[in-house]
Structure 1
Amino acid sequence: MLLIKSLLTLFFLLAGSVKLTGWLRPVFTVQLDYFRSYGLNRGFMALVGLAEILGALALWLIPGLGAPLLAMISLGALAYHLRFDSWKEGVPAMVTLGLSLLLCWHTPPLWLV
């Protein structure tokens, strides 16, 4: 589980920081184009980025909250990709959703911690 937790952390810290700050311009531009094609603006993209960073940090600080939060973010991303794009664009969200749900299964719920 440590490997899965670490991979999810790295993925969401990278993805969230790009959405929030735009530091990796080529990736940021592609992401912003996706959000705009969904009818969402730059502000919403920044909120998603912040949620991704908070979810990644919560995996370590509040495990019972981090995995469900990342699962919800992944489910939202998957829904948008399946609605507006082809299923191929949703593959990363499918992977992160599966890994997040696996962590949910192996992590006690927040109210039991």
Structure 2
Amino acid sequence: MQDEPTPAELAKAVADFLRSDIAPLVSGHQAFKLRVGINALDLVVRQLTEAGQREVMELERLKVLLGRADGSLFELNRALAEKIATGAIDLSTPGLKEHLWQTTLDKLAVDQPNYASYKRETERENG
């Protein structure tokens, strides 16, 4: 089994190469398409390096919130959605609002870490 470089390191290296060596050479629509490709590689890197731990924490919050000991992230999210839809759980349920907020921030950290509202909220929380 190949241990190094990791998939995240490979994707980052390609994104860095494209950003520093190729991007200055292209313009117009090709530059736009190149930025889209670089952004996709950056997203893959964040998914490989950050999403896993955030999903573990989300799963644990869901288990506590739903009072369940098992189930996949998909299954527990579906169960939560059903409980919200039927009114069995609402924002007055202890922990729901905090879970939804943290899950949103975790997803933005991976998908859109430069989103202005995300940055503002994390700056407010950190200090």
Is this a same-fold pair by TM over 0.5? no
More helix by share: 1
Relative contact order higher in (CA < 8 Å, ≥ 6 apart):
1
Q: Which has the larger radius of gyration?
A: 2
What's the TM-score, normalizing by structure 1?
0.31
What's the TM-score, normalizing by structure 2?
0.28
